[in-house]
Structures are given as C-alpha cells and as structure tokens.
A and B are shown apart, each in its own frame.
Chain A
Amino acid sequence: MDLQELLRESVDGQVRDVPAGFADGAIRRVRRRRTRVALASVAGAMLVGAAAATFAMIGPAEPDRNDGAPADRSSSGYDVDLAALPDGPAPALPWYADGHLHIDNTATAFDVEFAAVSLYRVAGGFVVLATEPNGRGAGDPRARTLYSVREGGAPVTLASGPIRGVAVAGLSGQAAVSTADTVSVVDVATGTVLYALETPDDETTPVGFLDGERVLLRTGTGALLTWDVGGGYARYLEDRAIDRLSSAGGPAVLAPGGRLLAITPSATATDVLDTGTGHVLWSRPPAVLTFSPDGRYAALLEAPVPPGVIPSDLDGAEPGDLLERNGPTVTVTQEMLDTVAEHPDDWEKVRHVVIMDARTGAEVRRLTAENAENLRWETGTSVVFGAYRDGEEAALIRCSVDGACELTTQPREVVGEPGVDGNPYLLGDTP
C-alpha cells in the first residue's frame, strides 16, 4: 500500500459522514430571518436598551448633514471606520430597524415578518415590498407583498403573491407593479389600480417611470419597452438601436427624470445612455449603478478582488496579468494587489464606494469600507450605505461627494452575516 492509499484509507475511515443539516448551517451563516418575533425573543431587556440607545441618538442629532470629517484611512485600513467617524443626523431616506420604518427622526411601526425587504419613499409615507419568510429563499418572488404605510399608520396591502418587480414614482405617489401576467400602476395613497395591462412575458419588470404617462419595462428576454399607461407597449428607443439587452444581461437602471439609463447588455459591460439621443455616453465593467436625484452623479459598490479570486492567486502577479482559472479570465489590477497586500486576511470584505460624473463616467470619489452594502443616494451630493467594523458592529454611513463621512446611526452588534444580512439597520434591497 503506497502513501496515497494509506492517506485515503486513514482519512476516509475517520470521516465517513457529514453532519445533518450541513447546508442549512452554511446558509444560516449567511442569512438570518429578520422577524419581529425573533427580535423579541432575544434578551428582551438588552434589546430594549439597544433600541432606546438608537432612538436617543437619532433624536437630538446636532451636527449638520454632510459636515462630517473627510474620510481618512484609519488603523482599520478602511477610509470608512465606524470607530473614527463623527455622529451625524439620521438618514433622510427610508430605513428599517427594530420593527419600525424610519426616516429622519420619525419612526412608524411595521409589524410584518419578512425575509427581505425593499423600501421606497412617497409623500407622507412609504412603499414596502416584503418577501415573506416562507423558508424557500429570501428572493422567492412567489411570496411577496407590497404595502403602503402612511407615517404613523398601519401597513395597507396594495398587492400580494408572485410580484416580479416594483418601481415607485415618489412625487406622483404611484407604483408600477408587475406580476407574471399583469403590469399595473397603483395609486399608493388609495390602493386604486389606475391602469393595468397584460405583460409581454411572465418575467417582465418595471424599470422606472419615464414621466407621468410612461413606464419603462424590461421583459424576460431583455427587451426594453415603454408602456403608455393609457395604451399599449412600444419598443424603447427602437429608432436608435438601443434594443440590445439580452436576457443574460444585468438590470436596467433609470436615472430620476429619465434622462440617463444604465444597461448591462452582456456579461462584459455596463453602458450609460443618454435617453434623449440614444447614444452611449460611457461604459465600464458590469455594475449596478445608482443615479443621484438630479442625475449629476452615478455611484456603485465595487469589490476590488472579484469573486473567485483569492490572495494566493495573486502571488507574484503584476497589473495586466491574466488569471487563467476555470471561470472567466480575470485581469489583475493594481487595486487587487493593493487590497490583498493591505487586507491579507479580510480581502473579501473590502468594498469601494465609487462616485462618478454621470455623463462622463469620470471618477469623482472612491472610498473603502468594510462590506459596504445597499448604496443609496440621499441628496444630490450625499450617499448612505451600510458598513461594518471587524464583522462585529454595523451602522449606516453618510458620505458626501467631497469625501466627508459620518455615522447616521450608532454602530450596533451585527445580527447575521456581514455584507449580506448582518446589519441591524436595513436600507433594503434593490428589487
């Protein structure tokens, strides 16, 4: 018997089975079910104290918004270090914590269990798309409910069941909602269905409101359609040959006002288009962009070390080298090398918050943060996102375009897997 056989016999003899629930254990590390019941069951007195501390913080917040200290890389190795940031006001956009929907200093009870949630602001309240905790995955589109919640009021169901997607026009108080067979425009305040039409296919989702009368849709095959809410569908920008999304491409993102559109027609690039001319203004590697309210800036979260690459892949590598692996070929960048050099044990936690000029793609600001997540524009010059410290605490952070950052909520103990489901403050998913 040679060494290989001896090793196999020895090791295989010692490990004959896998513990029951091994997959569940791995998934539990990533996901926690965020429910009111679960919150109430965990050390109630301690939680009350934590909640009180949070509300005390968001009440008398003194510093002016966006008046935080310029981000300076601290001993943590991140520009955004929760332990070093000054306190700032609560976010002026919706977030969820402790069974309540928050905005600025107001809190509205949201007594609903959910596994995932998307939050929208409308005049006088919120629209909430909640995925039920049905045990079949947080993203299960078959078990969603769309709620309208007035500030201080109770949730009112607007739609439930297999909701494929939602787009909300905050100013008009309307929501476009698609199911497998119907796309509707709903008045959020009354719940009245204003318009409805059969969908082109069962995976059609609303991208956004182009104006008060047209909704941009993306079909399951990747086609972009406009829906004149009083009539039918038309191919979007057909005369300008923009209809080149594929079903394999990424999401389409419409800038507020509809002047810019980000599409990911393939696995290799995201294009930003001027919807007035149909011209591609700039392109970059695939990313989910978010546009500032005035359409001046675009922002994204970026992992400098792509999924599938680990530090040992980069030993001896130089910028421009190609990593030949079983997956797609990866081009080594200086950012990758810098990241693994500075974060040899937590490279996968590093995220860059990147702010760009929306019309040129020129980079305006780049900040590093631990497991930054759910990037949202709060004003024309500030973003809010979740971030972590040592995987143990999390908070919501505000950073301005000029690079000043501050805490908008006090850091609290994480409740799940950092970067996935660990932040006790939820800005919500992109639907």
Chain B
Amino acid sequence: MDVEAEEQFRRFVEGRSLALLRTAYALTGDRHTAEDLVQGALAKLFRHWRTVDDPEGYVRRIIYNDQVSSWRRRRTVREEPVEDVPERAVSDGSAEVDGRLDMTRLLSMLAPRQRAVLVLRYYDGLTEREIATALGCSIGNVRSQTFRALARLRTLAPELTTAVPAAPTIEGA
C-alpha cells in the first residue's frame, strides 16, 4: 500500500473507530472482544483498501459476519442466556444512570442473536432486510428474534415497558 492510501486508511480509522467500536461493544458486551473484533475487521479493510468503495459498510458487514461466525464456532460450547436477572441488575427507575447501566447488563442477558437484532435495529438503525442480510438469516427470523428479544426485555425489566415496543416495528408500516 502506498503512503497516500495508508494515510487515507488512518484518517478513516481515526474518524470512524469510535462508532464501530460502540457497535461491536453492543454486539459483544465486552470491551476487549469488541476491540479485537473491530481491529480484525479494520485489518481486513486495510488489505482491500484500494478495492473497497464503501469502507464503513464493508467494515460493518465484516464485524457482523465475524460475530455470526463466532456464534457458529461456539455452538459446540453452547451459550445459554441467563434465565433470571439478579435483583440488583434491575433498575428501580429512580435515575437515568440506572437505566443506562441496566441496558448494558440486560443486553448481556439476551441470547447472542437476540442481542444482535436489537443492536442492529435500534442502535445501528438497520432495516429488517438489512439485518437479515447482515446476520445471514430470513426476515421472518429477524422478526421472531426481535419479538422474543423485546419480550424478554420486558420480562427482565418491567419498568422499561414504556421504552420497549410492544411488538417489532413492521418495515414500511
């Protein structure tokens, strides 16, 4: 890679890394895993820098894809969501800061795919079709996962009911 291209890459990383890292953190729930996920995706981008027309779109799709691949690899060591939320994890609704902390913890208590559909839908703002493409599943599966994720959120934290949609938003509706 020539100097100019490398400088362009560095500018891209400088400008977009925080947003990418936040998405990865939301997906993984772990700061170090998120950094590794993003840096791995950026390394792949660096290798193809001259041929990729939409760097951010490419990196995000690599992040999603690598995260899905990690779920597949972990299937042999089955990952189960926590069934019961410790009482201290539930907000008492007294302060927004508690709500923030609860959301991070609540996300970690969802199954990986449920967490992913929520993050992609409500954090990254993707459409159901885009989420299906990103996660390699059907739109119907996205809807069902979203429904279950929202239902579980309401179960885990009843006080968040007003913030959580009763049903997944239907695209185009």
The answer to the question of B160 belonging to the interface, with a C-beta cut-off of 8 Å to chain A, is yes
Interface string of B44-65 (1 = CB under 8 A from A): 1111100111100110011011
Inter-chain contact total with CB atoms closer than 8 Å: 153
CB proximity to B under 8 Å, residues A1-45: 1-15, 17-19, 22-23, 25-27, 29-30
Q: Are B25 and A139 in touch, CB under 8 angstroms?
A: no
**In the bound complex, CA of A23 to CA of B39 (Å):** 8
Contact among B5, B13, B102, B163 for A3, CB-based, below 8 A: B163
CB proximity to A under 8 Å, residues B20-36: 21-22, 25-26, 31, 34-35
Q: Are A7 and B118 in touch, CB under 8 angstroms?
A: yes
Q: Are B99 and A312 in touch, CB under 8 angstroms?
A: no
Q: How near does chain B come to A326, taking the closest CB pair, in angstroms?
A: 4
Q: Max chain B CB contacts within 10 Å: which of A6, A140, A419, A420?
A: A6
Taking CB as reference atom, which chain B residue is nearest A419?
B47
Q: Are B65 and A10 in touch, CB under 8 angstroms?
A: no
The answer to the question of A161 belonging to the interface, with a C-beta cut-off of 8 Å to chain B, is no
Q: How near does chain B come to A39, taking the closest CB pair, in angstroms?
A: 23
Q: Give chain B residues whose Cβ lies under 8 Å from the Cβ of A344.
A: 69, 72
**In the bound complex, CA of A166 to CA of B36 (Å):** 39
Q: Give chain B residues whose Cβ lies under 8 Å from the Cβ of A9.
A: 96, 99-100, 103
Contact among A26, A315, A417, A420 for B133, CB-based, below 8 A: A315
Q: Give chain A residues whose Cβ lies under 8 Å from the Cβ of B73.
A: 345
CB proximity to B under 8 Å, residues A277-321: 307-308, 310-313, 315
Q: Give chain A residues whose Cβ lies under 8 Å from the Cβ of B26.
A: 7, 11
Q: Are B21 and A326 in touch, CB under 8 angstroms?
A: no
Instruction: Give A residues with C-beta under 8 Å from B.
Output: 1-15, 17-19, 22-23, 25-27, 29-30, 136-142, 307-308, 310-313, 315, 325-328, 344-345, 348, 417, 419-420
Contact among B10, B43, B100 for A417, CB-based, below 8 A: B43
Beyond the given pairs A3-B165, A7-B107, A27-B46, 13 more chain A to chain B contacts, judged by CB atoms under 8 angstroms and listed by A's residue number, are A3-B164, A11-B103, A11-B104, A17-B18, A22-B13, A22-B35, A26-B42, A30-B46, A137-B1, A308-B51, A308-B53, A312-B133, A325-B54
The answer to the question of B135 belonging to the interface, with a C-beta cut-off of 8 Å to chain A, is yes
Taking residues whose C-beta sits less than 8 angstroms from the other chain, chain B's interface range is 35 or more
Q: Are A326 and B54 in touch, CB under 8 angstroms?
A: yes
Beyond A15-B31, A345-B69, whether A23 also contacts B48 by CB under 8 A is: no
Instruction: Give B residues with C-beta under 8 Å from A.
Output: 1-3, 5-6, 9-10, 13-14, 17-18, 21-22, 25-26, 31, 34-35, 38-40, 42-48, 51-54, 57-58, 61-62, 64-65, 68-69, 72-73, 96, 99-104, 107, 118-119, 122-123, 125, 133-137, 150, 153, 160, 163-165
Q: Are A27 and B25 in touch, CB under 8 angstroms?
A: no
Q: Are B100 and A139 in touch, CB under 8 angstroms?
A: no
Q: Give chain A residues whose Cβ lies under 8 Å from the Cβ of B58.
A: 308
Q: Give chain B residues whose Cβ lies under 8 Å from the Cβ of A26.
A: 13, 39, 42-43, 45-46
Q: Are A29 and B43 in touch, CB under 8 angstroms?
A: yes
**In the bound complex, CA of A2 to CA of B17 (Å):** 26
Contact among B10, B53, B133 for A326, CB-based, below 8 A: B53
Q: Give chain A residues whose Cβ lies under 8 Å from the Cβ of B42.
A: 22-23, 26
Q: Max chain A CB contacts within 10 Å: which of B10, B18, B47, B58?
A: B47
Beyond A6-B100, A26-B39, whether A140 also contacts B21 by CB under 8 A is: no
